Chains A and B, each alone.
Chain A
Amino acid sequence: MALQKVVRSTVIDAPIERVWAVLRDFNSHDRWHEVVDHSEIEDGKPSDRVGCVRNFTLQDGNHIREMLLSLSDKDYVSTYTIIEATVPLQRYVATITLKPVTDGQRTFWHWASSFATPPGMEADLRNMVAQGVYEAGFANLKRHLQLGSNAGRSHLRPTSTKPVLQASPVVAQTIKVREYGDAVQLRAESSEVPPPGVGEVRIRQTAIGVNYLDIYLRKGWIPELLPLPGTPGMEAAGEVIDVGPDVTSLLPGDRVAYMGPAPGSYTSVRNVPVAWTVRLGAGIDDGTAAASLLKGITADYLLRDLGRVKAGTRLLVHAAAGGVGTLVCAWARNMGALVMGTVSSEAKARIARDNGCQHVIVTSDYTFSAAVHHISQGADVIIDGLGDAAREENFAALAPCGHWISLGQASGPLQPISPDWLVGKSVSFSRPVAFAYVATHAVLNQRAERVWQAFRDGILLPVQTEQFALKEAATAHARLESRQSTGSLVLLPG
């Protein structure tokens, strides 16, 4: 009698470690597969001991005993056979194989078996196995992973069968601002970070990006964003320590970077929503990620969405040797734009030029509009981090119908812009916030991937970072405010 063969396969939208964590447990199926009512391993053996037998009942009352024949954590393979069953499957041997989909953190799942049946029942039993067990299992496991391991059908078995490690607080070194003011207000304190909440991951941070926004927060310019006492910092990179309930896309040990709309990254350990995170692949180190996630994504939305920069666009970038400036110059040049930039010293001019800025204007007193008109007869797009001191010059530098994008205000808060003033040149004025451009996790991932790809393709040069110990955050801020720094500043927790 010919053996019947059934093969079914699917792709699960979760990393292989997560899928395997469920499937390698030979006794997990009553928690995720709806046809299984109750299962236990005979003789109290561990469920990953080759040769153990799972003894289970199905929702329809059938009863099956299956033996684990092989289990490989190296190849993600589990093979098992029916040794006794009230359903007429004979010589049934099944193999589950997982493989990583390397271009997207997904998992290919292959489930195959061969078996014999009584005459005349071949088609019925093939369908039962293919649809009732395998295809239903695919759908059930997808649902199980989405709900998280603590939801769904876990009530069927008390969690006491497997000891759950009680997550405990972790002591962290954290920078606190207790009074708004100069850099000296950044002081290191010890704090406790509780276990991650629902939808959160707890990250041991290895590198923290410093942004000009952090200085505004420290000075108390945006008190609603940083009430006292508070911890500044919008981005960091590190390793996941543990994950909270309902988190299915990350596991302890995963390397991640994040950016989020609430400050607090100047710390050695932090809980953040998983929706803020992006996974880091090989080739992007933690320092680069922490230094360039927010800045790279800023460059991405500025050029692609807000500025609509394309070949021939006349672009003026202030602080062209800075963290955002270098990325914007290099990327815009690759898009074919005419890239002009201002810097405050000859040393910075060299850095701006190395990053693709074709026309560098060295100015220490915020005068540049004459030079811009000499080079290009006005700028179509200005990316402005200078603020109030350059207000008149920026307006003067704009070409008719130009677009003034106010990204920061290093020289002081920009006084209100009057619509009647703008109409003089028919120009647009924008005041964007990066976090509005990464409103969903999918968009964040998409933008981050474009940034990493631009680094891998050499469109963006490796970031030059100046590194400071976390407890030296005050020194880092003083350095950034001094206008002496170039490239990106990074804090390293000890």
Chain B
Amino acid sequence: MIQVYTSSVIDASADAVWAKIRDFNALPQWHPAIADSRIENNQASDRVGCIRYFHLRDGGLIRERLLALSDYDFTCTYSILESPMGVDNYVATIKLTPITDGGRCFAEWSAEFDCPPQREAELSNSIGQGVFQAGFDALKRHFSTRR
């Protein structure tokens, strides 16, 4: 089981960042790698169990199921059902925690998955940096230019 962990500090309150990311169907609105997204079967995007169906900017199709959503803990957990990445048993969690000294928040994005040993390094990097860090960087940019 491979674990990837990326964390960052975003210069906005956890409430504000959560408002941006809690919508399971909103990835294209904030993540630069995502081209489009829809929720299958017209379900609400905060209904636990719903499936998002989206394309990466490079064309790849990914389907992910919402496993857990907590407005209390600012946590969202999901699994990959289908993707071109070549990972198995992929479960990821994005979590925000308020930082009480200053209106900032601590953002964590982690994943666990299985893959062939020779692809561990490449996938850890593409997920940890290419997906998670790139998402945090986009959020940081968003909340710094809004002022």
Docked pose: A138 CA to B100 CA in angstroms: 11
Is A62's beta carbon under 8 Å from chain B?
Answer: no
| Residues of B with C-beta under 8 A to A168 | none
Q: B108 — nearest CB in chain A belongs to which residue?
A: A99
A283 at the interface (CB under 8 A from B): yes
Number of cross-chain contacts by CB at 8 Å: 50
Q: Can you list, as one digit per residue, whether each of B83-115 has a CB less than 8 Å from chain A (1) or not (0)?
A: 000000000000001111100101010000000
Picked from B100, B106, B125, the residue with its CB within 8 Å of the CB of A101 is B106
Partner of B101, one of A8, A101, A456: A8
Category for how many chain A residues contact B: 10 to 19
Query: Pick the contact of B99 from A10, A100, A104, A456 — CB < 8 Å?
Result: A10
Contacts of A135 in B (CB 8 A): 101
A7, A11, A102, A110: the one contacting B104 at CB < 8 Å is: A11
Does A456 contact B7, Cβ atoms closer than 8 Å? no
Instruction: Given A100-B7, A456-B129, decide whether A108 and B106 contact each other with a Cβ distance below 8 A.
Output: yes
Question: Which residue of B9, B97, B98 is within 8 Å of A106 (Cβ)?
Answer: B9
Task: Report which of B6, B99, B108 forms a contact with A11, defined as CB distance below 8 A.
Answer: B99
| Any B CB within 8 A of the CB of A9 | yes
Min Cβ gap A388→B in Å is 46
Known: A99-B108, A108-B106. A9 touches B97 (CB 8 A): yes
From B8, B98, B101, give the contact of A102 (CB < 8 A).
B8
Task: Decide: A101 and B7 in contact? CB cutoff 8 A.
Answer: yes
Question: What chain A residues lie within 8 Å of B9 (beta carbons)?
Answer: 11, 101, 104, 106, 108
State A106–B107 Cα separation when bound (angstroms). 13
Contact between chains at B106 and A99 (CB < 8 Å): yes
CB distance from B123 to the nearest CB of A (A): 13
Complex Cα–Cα for A7 and B97 (A): 11
B79 touches A (CB below 8 Å):
no
Given A11-B99, A108-B97, A138-B101; A103-B106 close (CB under 8 Å): no
By a CB distance below 8 angstroms, the chain A residues around B136 are: 103
B99, A102: Cβ atoms under 8 Å? Answer: no
Give the most central of B6, B9, B106, B128: most A CB within 10 Å. B106
Check if B7 sits within 8 Å of A99, measured CB to CB. yes
| Contacting pair A9 B99 (CB below 8 A) | yes
Residue B13 at the chain A interface, CB threshold 8 Å: no
Interface size class of B (residues with CB under 8 A): 10 to 19
Q: Are B100 and A10 in contact (CB under 8 A)?
A: yes
Q: Using known A-B contacts A11-B106, A283-B125, A456-B129, determine if residue A103 contacts B99 with beta carbons closer than 8 Å.
A: no
A103 touches B100 (CB 8 A): no
Q: Are B8 and A7 in touch, CB under 8 angstroms?
A: no
Whether B104 pairs with A103 at a CB distance below 8 angstroms is no
Bound Cα distance from A101 to B106, whole angstroms: 8
Q: Please judge, given known A-B contacts A11-B104, A108-B106, whether A102 and B7 are in contact too, CB under 8 Å.
A: yes
Interface centre among B5, B97, B98, B104, by most A CB within 10 Å?
Answer: B97
Asked whether B133 is an interface residue with its Cβ less than 8 Å from the other chain, the reply is: yes
0/1 interface trace, chain A 6-22, chain B, CB 8 Å (1 if under): 01111100000000000
21 A-B pairs, CB-CB below 8 angstroms? Answer: A7-B100, A8-B100, A9-B97, A9-B98, A9-B99, A9-B100, A10-B100, A11-B99, A11-B106, A99-B7, A99-B106, A100-B7, A101-B9, A101-B106, A102-B128, A102-B133, A103-B6, A104-B9, A108-B7, A108-B9, A108-B99
Known contacts A10-B100, A283-B125; 14 additional CB pairs below 8 A are: A9-B97, A10-B99, A11-B9, A11-B106, A100-B5, A101-B7, A101-B106, A102-B8, A102-B133, A108-B7, A108-B106, A110-B97, A135-B101, A456-B129
